[in-house]
Amino acid sequence: MSVLIYANTANGKIHKSAFEAVAYGSKIAADLGTNATAIVIGACSDAESLGEFGATKILHANDSKFNDFDPSIYTQVVVKGAEAEGADVIIFSHDFSGKSIAPRVAAKLDAGLVSGAVDYPSTANGFTVKKAVFSGKAFANITINTDKKVISLLPNSVDKSAKGGSASVETFSPEVGAATVKVKEVIKESADLPLTEAEKVVSAGRGLKGPENWGMIEDLAKELGAATACSRPVADMDWRPHHEHVGQTGVAIRPNLYIAVGISGAIQHLAGVNQSKTIVVINNDPEAPFFKSANYGIVGDAFEVIPKLVEAAKAFNASNH
Amino acid sequence: MKILVCISKAPDTTAKIAFTDNNTAFDTNGVQFIVNPYDEWYALVRGLELKEQNGGSVTVVNVGLAENEPIIRKALAIGADEAVRINVNPTDALQTAKEIVAFAKAEGFDMVLLGKETIDYNGSQLGGMIAELMDMPYVSLASKLEMEGTTATIHRDIQGGTEVVEVTAPFVISAAKGMAEARIPNMRGIMAARTKPLKVVEGSGANASTTIANYELPPAKGECHYIDADNAAELIELLHNEAKVI
């Protein structure tokens, strides 16, 4: 018995969400009295760093045939890794890669899957994992009834600090079938911080009146080290790129800090952001429904308030906090 | 081109979320049910567009009881040719996947389309499970799908960008925003939907692998702490000293 964690990579390095997944899987392994093995697929220059997050062994499938992300091939590698390690619990990050592979692995192993877990499993009564449901409006505790268990962890859910430690890296060369997905091109949307990974987000809506007014939002985001986002109408009017649209039909995020400027807080928008740890709402309408979900609120004109915040953030940064 | 679109029933986006039976069941009282938006707006409509361009048929499948027929009729009104309801009240995605595969494996579909997730359980599980059980390629979170013969060129969302991939039919795709524009059924479609075939098949007896122990509502949000607009700079201090997020 052991715990196997799939650690995804980006641009040849371990991806940020993988460190959290490994920390999560290692804690589960410790609770179950077993070891945590991480599995890395494709080129990766820093696989050994996963040892600092609790993995005691790392399987690295580093053959160049694994460099393209093909969910069916990656599924075979993870399943063979689980067999080799005798893993009963398999962990993924519930991000772009985990959403592609975790369901395939669960189906292959005939294992119950909880996707988007937000907490450690409870083993007091079966093996039960908490996840957000109804677009963040509730949680469900789901019991996995199969011997093999698959969990994908919602990023930014648990302690992801490095604990120190080291791991042995072993080359892993499983036999797999032919590729089914051919990657032709990767289009980078921007070099900036991807929204889904940002711990701080500054978002703005129709209250800003036009795309030419986004400079101050970008300034505030820059001072806070935050990503920028927008509401659906703003994306639909092409004021901002579609990948910035957060909400029910856009991307769902759960940063530590979400600042909403000129967004009224329609239920569909809240569904994408209501799991943010701290929410700040800035709106000139004191009746805006978003204030009901806010930790901090400023009733005022964004064109006066935001420049003041930019100045305050600059002063804050300059004072070496 | 023979297209299968999996549709799920979901509570309307504005539905009040509450639970009954000691927090073990979703309270459907007063809740309006709809076709899961990602299944309807993106998967179904793109399926219909591909059929209109290339010929073929669009079949919708739903795993659920007779109470789901209004949403299945809606999919027919939007333009699907026929519908299949698998008469099982499923407990989880793996059970649903097994039931869909039991029906679909002998039907020779060229592609299986579905939304990127449902808005109730937000699992993002079904597409990958169907693909694995049918031994097909799976492309998740697709925002664009073009067909050239049996070759599909697909744009899929990845971290900070888009990946352009090519797969050969048959395949499974989960659809995200950008795939198509939602269609509103017209009167002709609604009338036609009444007479389109809606076949009911019995389930294969697949078991679920998970059960929902109970639900919880999030802890109530505390009062909003208002800061005077003239003193906006105070917010930065509060975010640092109190919320500890900067």
Residues 6 or more apart whose Cβ sits within 8 Å of residue B199: B82, B83, B84, B85
The stretch A170-194 carries a mean pLDDT of: 87
- Contact in structure between A79 and A109 (CB atoms under 8 Å): yes
Give the number of other CB atoms < 10 A from CB of residue B130: 28
Position A18 scores a pLDDT of 96
Percentage, residues of chain A above pLDDT 90? 87
Position A136 scores a pLDDT of 87
The stretch A255-264 carries a mean pLDDT of: 97
A133 → closest Cβ in B13, B121, B130: B121
Span A24-47, pLDDT tens digits: 999 999 999 999 999 999 999 999
Residue ranges, comma separated, of all CATH 3.40.50.620 domains in chain A are 2-171
Residue ranges, comma separated, of all CATH 3.40.50.1220 domains in chain A are 195-318
CATH topology of domain A195-318: Rossmann fold (3.40.50)
**Between these two residues, A320 and A306, which has the higher pLDDT value?**
A306
Helix axes A302-318, B234-241, angle to 10 degrees: 50
User: What is d(CA A54, CA A36) in angstroms, rounded to the nearest whole number?
Assistant: 7
- Asked whether the predicted pLDDT for residue A202 surpasses 90, the reply is yes
Percentage, residues of chain B above pLDDT 90? 93
Span B59-92, pLDDT tens digits: 999 999 999 999 999 999 999 999 999 999 999 9
Chain-wide mean pLDDT for chain B?
96
Adjacent-strand bridge partners of A112: A149
Percentage, residues of chain B above pLDDT 70? 100
Determine phi and psi for A21, rounding to 5 degrees. Answer: -60, -40
* Three-state DSSP state, A7: coil
Position A28 scores a pLDDT of 97
Q: How far is A250 from chain B (nearest CA, A)?
A: 7
User: What is d(CA B132, CA A71) in angstroms, rounded to the nearest whole number?
Assistant: 10
- Asked whether the predicted pLDDT for residue A7 surpasses 80, the reply is yes
What DSSP designation does A121 have? P
Confidence of residue A321 (pLDDT cuts 50, 70, 90): low
Searching chain B, which residue's CA lies closest to the CA of residue A194?
B160
Partner B, chain A 202-241, Cβ-Cβ below 8 Å: 224
The CATH class of A2-171 is alpha beta
Say whether B141 and A112 touch across the interface (CB within 8 A): no
Token digits for A303? 């064109």
Say whether A297 and B129 touch across the interface (CB within 8 A): no
Percentage, residues of chain A above pLDDT 70? 98
User: What count of residues does chain A have?
Assistant: 321
Confidence of residue B106 (pLDDT cuts 50, 70, 90): very high
- CB-based contacts of A74-78 (< 8 A; 24+ apart in sequence): A74/A6, A74/A41, A74/A100, A74/A101, A75/A101, A75/A104, A75/A105, A75/A108, A75/B132, A76/A174, A76/A176, A76/A177, A77/A39, A77/A41, A77/A172, A77/A174, A77/A176, A78/A4, A78/A6, A78/A39, A78/A41, A78/A105
Say whether B216 and A190 touch across the interface (CB within 8 A): no
Predicted complex: ipTM over 0.85: yes
Domains and CATH numbers, chain B: 2-216 (3.40.50.620)
Judge whether A35 is closer than 8 Å to chain B, CB to CB.
Answer: no
- Asked whether the predicted pLDDT for residue A8 surpasses 90, the reply is yes
Say whether B120 and A189 touch across the interface (CB within 8 A): no
Searching chain B, which residue's CA lies closest to the CA of residue A312?
B233
User: What is d(CA A197, CA A218) in angstroms, rounded to the nearest whole number?
Assistant: 17
